Structures are given as structure tokens and as C-alpha cells.
Structure 1
């Protein structure tokens, strides 16, 4: 890649915002997918979240917001995370839908009778096929280097979409709950 001396943060913000807006518009055009995710989460006894790398970091933000709503939420891999069981939901994000550790965890969740919600770019992946509800993010996969898929580096658009989808799921659940912002505030961390 040849250095672009005219590259600015402002230009990058505008370009990235345009890409995320286009992806969000395409996801929002499939409301059935999104409704299935909400219904699956609402009926969960507990919610477990799992993602690797930046996708996992993005999904942790959703875990925090679900906790603010009063969900019993656990981040897979933390030392205090209990065993998943029937009645629980595993919310997993993997752009490729083939990340080995995530696919193994999904298989375990299914074996014990838990349901799975997947966020992925790959509707034909093992992750998507095993899931009860899937949000397909029309973004470039991590190894897709074509500028037509995304001008951003290595899955950036997918990871940004995971944050936006997670915030949208939280927002919809919050509005359905009829809880005020003041009612959620006591659940915010106070050991910072």
C-alpha cells in the first residue's frame, strides 16, 4: 500500500461512518432476524457471551448492557463463569463463523440444551447452522482484502457492527422493559 499523504482522520471518520451506515441499513431490512434474537434473549434463564479477539471485546459491551437491564450474564472464559445448561443462551460472535473455540463452545451449548444466538458474516458457516437465531452482518470477513467489501483493515467493519447491533438489541430490550434510566443506574459498576 502506498502512503497517502492526504489521509486525514476526518476523511477516515466519514468513510467508516458511511460503511457502518450501509451495513446497518442492510441488517435493519431483515427485521425477522432481529425479532428472533430479542425473543431468544428475553426467554433466557442466563446469557453467556463469547467472541474471540476484537469481536469478543465488542461483545463484552453487550454483556455489560444486558447486565444493566438485569439479565444474568456471564462472559465465557472468565474464572467465575458457571456451566451453561438448558434454558440458557449463548450469544456468540465470529465473522467467519468458523473460529474453532467458538464452534466448539456452540456445540457444547447445543449438547446441553442451551440455545445459541450468532452474529456472523457467514450465513453458511458452522456457527450460523448451529444457531437458533442469527444476525448476518453484510461486512467483509477478516481475511477479505478487497476494497469493495470494506476499505477498513481486517474485520473492522464487522467488529463495529457487533457493537452497533449489541447496542440496538439492548435499546430494544430496554424500551420493551419500561425501566427508566434511573432504574438501571444502580447496576453500574461502583468499584472502578
Structure 2
């Protein structure tokens, strides 16, 4: 017997709803971003600046955020690969794996980190959980103090699932890109020459 899932019908979102939730999301992001240890983020930035290729691995929405970060690092002229793409080469000693998992237990992400470690690559991780398997494998860790996606009763966030982690992850990677760019003399026009032209 096949079961089907019907879509949940919701009421319309009023202007008051939108105003309230824009404030909710904005305030949660600001509060959480302010709690990130800037030194942790600076340490990760130093790893990104080292010679060697950068590999990016993440699942779900966190993975999408890291893909955006990979694009910006490519714009800086760094040699960046997305794990799982058909043209991605093998990671090796001297390379860096950049990963993100709110729980620090996402199986595919942890497996990627284990493979990178065996290859002698460095690992940089974003997570909420400093005692997670992913954090234990990493050479440098940035803790984002947001709720984990299965922590539905959390007092940390009123948003659904891992939204706050993913939102602050985006801000953190944007701050990293901006900081790396600030320390170059490369104009925006030169970065733009690397922008995709086969879209």
C-alpha cells in the first residue's frame, strides 16, 4: 500500500507576520554572530591563505552555503574544488578541507574529514558542537553557537531546524572572504574577470 503526503495548507502571511519575523531572524543572526570567537575565524582564515588546494564539503543547506563560499574563494584566485563534483581531484597532503555540520555528526561530512585526515590534508570545520566527531578531526574549528537542526525545543532559536546555523555560517564565510580580500591589492574588476561566463 502506498501512502501519500499531502501538502500542508497555511494561511497567508500578513504584513504584521513579516515585520515580526524579519525582526526575529535579524535579531537571532546578530546575537549569534556576535558570540563567534573572532580568533577562531581568523585561524581558519590563515588556513585558507596557506598554499595548497581548498576542498569544500557539506550536506543540505550548510553545503549550499559552503558552495557560495567556494565561489567567492575562487573569485580571489584560490584553487577550490567542491567534493562530489565529477571533476574534483583527490585530496592530498598540503590541501585543506573546509566542512560544516551543525551537529558535527553528519555522516558524509565526517567521512570526508576522515578521508582528508588519512591523506594528510588539513581540516577546517564549522559546527555548533565542540565535542563532536567532526570537531575532533579538525585542525581548526569555528563554533557557531546556534541550535542543532533536531533541537526543536531549543531556547537558542525560534526558527525551524538548522536555519540559524546556516544563516550565521553564511555571514561567517562572507566575513572571511571580505577579510582575505581586504589583505590583497586586487580590485573588484579583477575578481570579476573570474566570474562564471557560461551561465
Q: TM-score, normalised by structure 1?
A: 0.94
How many Å apart are 1:179 and its aligned residue? 1.1
Question: Are residues 99 and 88 of structure 1, via their aligned partners in 2, closer, same or farther at CA, if it must alter by over 3 Å?
Answer: same
Higher helix share: 1
Aligned to 2:129: 122
**1:36-185 equivalence runs, <5 A:** 36-185=43-192
Look up the SS of the partner of 1:151 in the other structure. Answer: coil
Number of aligned positions between the proteins: 189
Equivalent residue number for residue 35 of structure 2 = 26
8 A Cα contact 2:98 2:125, kept in partner: yes
Q: CA RMSD in A?
A: 1.7
- The 1:70–1:4 alpha-carbon spacing in structure 2 relative to 1, beyond 3 Å, is same
- 1:44 deviates by 3.8
1:113-136 deviation digits (Å, cap 9, x = unpaired) = 100000001010011111111110
Q: Name the larger-Rg structure.
A: 2
Structure-2-length-normalised TM-score:
0.91
CA distance in 2: counterparts of 1:84 and 1:185, whole angstroms: 27
Question: Contact 2:147–2:154 (CA<8 Å) still a contact in 1?
Answer: no
- CA displacement at 1:147 relative to structure 2: 4.7
Contact 1:44 1:89 (C-alpha < 8 Å) held by counterparts: no
For residues 36 and 159 of structure 1, the distance between their equivalents in structure 2, rounded to whole angstroms, comes to 20
Structure 1: 4+ residue segments shifted above 4 A: 3-7
